[in-house]
Amino acid sequence: MNGANAVRVTGPLIAILFEGPAISKDFLSEEIRACACECACDGACYECNDCDDGPDCAC
Amino acid sequence: MKKSMFVVERSQANGDCVLFCAETASIIVLNSDAMQLLRSEEWDKLPMLEDMMRMKFIVDDDEDQVEIQRQIRNYVKEPREVKTLAFVIAPTLFCNARCAYCFEKGTKQCRMEPSTEAAMIDFIASTAKRFNAQKIAVTWFGGEPLLEQELIRRVSKALIGVVGKDNYNASIATNGSLIDDDVIGLFKVCNITSVQVTIDGTEENYNRIKNYVAPDRFNFQTVIRNIERCLENEILMTIRLNISAVNYNDVRVVLEQLAQRFGPYKKQMHIYAFPIMGDKDDESLYQSGSGSQELKEALDGITMRLFELGYKDSYKSLALKARPVHCAAFRYHSYSIDPNGDIFRCEHHLGHKDWAVGNVFEGIDEDSSKFRYWLEPEVPDKCNSCKILPMCQGGCVMEIGTNLDACSKQLLTLGTSLDLAYKLYERRVNS
């Protein structure tokens, strides 16, 4: 896929911009990767590290 | 298969469409041909079907997405072992500023006594042991916490002794007026690595709103200089811009001033705007209900400008996140402690004893209705059909009955955030 200023191509195209942490529906047997330790106002992470998921976590 | 109920679409002028899945906070772009296939549910022709299913844009027909969200909320509300326990500590409710909007207005000003301090350290240490936490994180809060620097030093030392310096981290919410070189030294000794300061407007308006007790010593220029002092010492700065219907234009000006003065420190700074919360009938405040267009325009305006100034330069900086509960107060492990030793779920209740769920002397009464109130996994009925339920999870308890008692502000600004995501994407493909 191309941006607005690039040459466009035809056919169905999908591009991934950002893949967030998946919360599996089988979460009860897995660790929830997204924690709830960030401020709901600004998204600032309180660094609880409960997500244990490094830079790709919900924080 | 079906398209997820938690997908938000945002069309772009060239026919592309940005799709956001609130359940995983994932963002993708589809061209018009791909959108056509998605709308007509021609799954076998849709490219990257597996990726779209992994990111939950498409889910199984029988998947009960609302029930899964309810179970997720319930999960984090149950007691369990955690790697890090986070505590908010207000060593004092005294403050050298007198902001008109302060949520602690009406509470009895007091400072923490030595016996309370000792009991608090024991409570934190025993709680960490009980839940096998390896790390402790503290947010210093107030009042103005830097009025109690020696308490901060003592408590930090004690908690570092419990888990070790590498496993202890702290931040502080301060008005910034008391930060000097000695305080920078205190931050370093106490592992305080990030500082939040609120700026309510340009110099004249800031000084009027803050109404400091000694305005010749504590004022806008003092705070700006102290922000610089923190940045020079590699401390992460969060600047909160409190906005209302009467100060918005002034806050826009101060944003430009901050960007100009602290331009080289962009990577160390997180700037965000938040509407002042208050009386529902106060016309000087933004209303998040039926009159939310004005608030939306204000938040969008600042978000766009932060993007243009380079403060939002990645998808993560757009702060589009899924969360299991609305905020930390709804997790089982949530501890905000005031100078009396009372323990609250939400730091905005500090000093309001009727919201206390326990104290550092006797612990938390986990069977009390006040404690269980926060662990109720249900959300208002209207939320169960909302596309961003996984981001909001029912909203803020504190905002009920106030001018902000309506849907999440994230819903207001989501469209603009997705437009910015597309701009970032265009930058990438055109570079």
Higher pLDDT, B250 or B292: B250
Residues of A in contact with B322 (CB under 8 A): 20-21, 23, 34, 58
Rounded distance, CA B337 to CA B92, Å? 10
Tokens of B399: 């905002």
Q: Who among B84, B319, B430 is closest to A48 (CB)? A: B84
What is d(CA B35, CA B262) in angstroms, rounded to the nearest whole number? Answer: 43
> B351-387: buried (b, 16+ CB within 10 Å) or exposed (e) per residue?
bbeebbbbbbeeebeeeeeebeebbebebeeebbebb
* b (16+ CB within 10 A) / e for B102-122: ebbeebeebbbeeebbebbbe
For residue B35, is pLDDT > 50? yes
pLDDT higher than threshold 80 for residue B82:
no
Interchain contact, A14 vs B47, CB within 8 Å = yes
Checking if the pLDDT of B337 tops 50, the result is yes
- Residue A20 and residue B30: Cβ atoms within 8 Å? no
Q: Is the pLDDT of residue B220 over 50?
A: yes
- Tell me the β-bridge partners of B238: B196, B270
Residue A18 CA to residue B51 CA, distance in Å, equals: 12
| Interchain CB contact of A30 with B (< 8 Å) | no
Phi, psi of B282 (to 5 degrees): -80, 110
Q: What is the pLDDT of residue B308?
A: 95
For chain B, say whether A4 makes contact (Cβ under 8 Å).
yes
By Cβ distance, the residue of B325, B326, B425 closest to A15 is B425
- ipTM tops 0.90: no
DSSP readout, B416-427?
A: HHHHHHHHHHHH
| pLDDT at residue A42, as a whole number | 42
Distance of residue B125 Cα from the nearest chain A Cα, in angstroms: 16
pLDDT at A52 over 80: no
> Nearest CA of chain A to the CA of B217: how many Å?
30
Is A20 in Cβ contact with B321 (below 8 Å)?
yes
Residue A26: predicted pLDDT: 47
Question: Which residues in chain B touch residue A43, judged by CB atoms under 8 angstroms apart?
Answer: 272, 319, 321
Nearest residue to B352 (alpha-carbon basis) of B338, B367, B366, B331: B338
* d(C-alpha B270, C-alpha B227), whole Å: 12
Q: Is the pLDDT of residue B293 over 60?
A: yes
Nearest chain B residue (CA) to A27: B72
Choose from A37-51, B29-43, B77-91 the range with maximum mean pLDDT: B29-43
DSSP character at residue B347: G
pLDDT band of residue A29 (cuts 50, 70, 90) is: very low
Of A39, A43, A49, the CB nearest to B135: A49
Minimum CA–CA partner of B62 in chain A: A25
Under 8 Å CB pairs connecting chains A and B tally to 174
Interval B120-167: pLDDT, tens: 999 999 999 998 888 898 999 989 999 999 999 999 999 999 999 999
E strand segments, A1-59: 14-18
Question: pTM of the predicted model, to two decimals?
Answer: 0.88
Per-residue model confidence (pLDDT) at position A14 = 94
pLDDT of residue B176: 97
Among the partner-chain residues B24, B37, B324, the one whose CB lies closest to the CB of A12 is B37
Judge: A27–B71 Cβ closer than 8 Å, yes or no: yes
CB A58 within 8 A of CB A33: yes
pLDDT at B287: 81
Task: Provide the pLDDT for residue A9.
Answer: 60
Give the distance from residue B4's alpha carbon to the nearest chain A alpha carbon, in angstroms: 13
Question: Considering only CB atoms, which chain A residues are within 8 Å of B47?
Answer: 12-14
pLDDT tens per residue across span B153-207: 999 999 999 999 999 999 999 999 999 999 999 999 999 999 999 998 999 999 9
**Cis before residue A43, ω within 30 degrees of 0?**
no
Query: From the candidates A5, A8, A25, which should be mutated to test the interface with B, based on the most B CB atoms within 10 A?
Result: A25
What is the mean pLDDT of the segment spanning B53-65?
Answer: 94
Give chain B positions within 8 Å (CB) of A21.
24-25, 322
| A contacts of B312 (beta carbons < 8 Å) | none
Any residues with CB less than 8 A from the CB of B152 and at least 6 apart, and which? Answer: B91, B140, B145, B146, B186, B190, B192
Spatial distance between the Cα atoms of B138 and B335, rounded to a whole number of angstroms: 10
* DSSP strands (E only) in B104-225: 135-140, 168-173, 192-199
Torsion angle defined by CA atoms of residues A39, A43, A49 and A55, in that order, rounded to the nearest 10 degrees? 180
Gap between the Cα atoms of B190 and A5, Å rounded: 51
Q: Is A51 helix (H, G, I), strand (E, B) or coil?
A: coil
Contact A48 B274 (CB under 8 A): no
Q: Which of B235, B233, B152, B227 is nearest to B197 (CA)?
A: B227
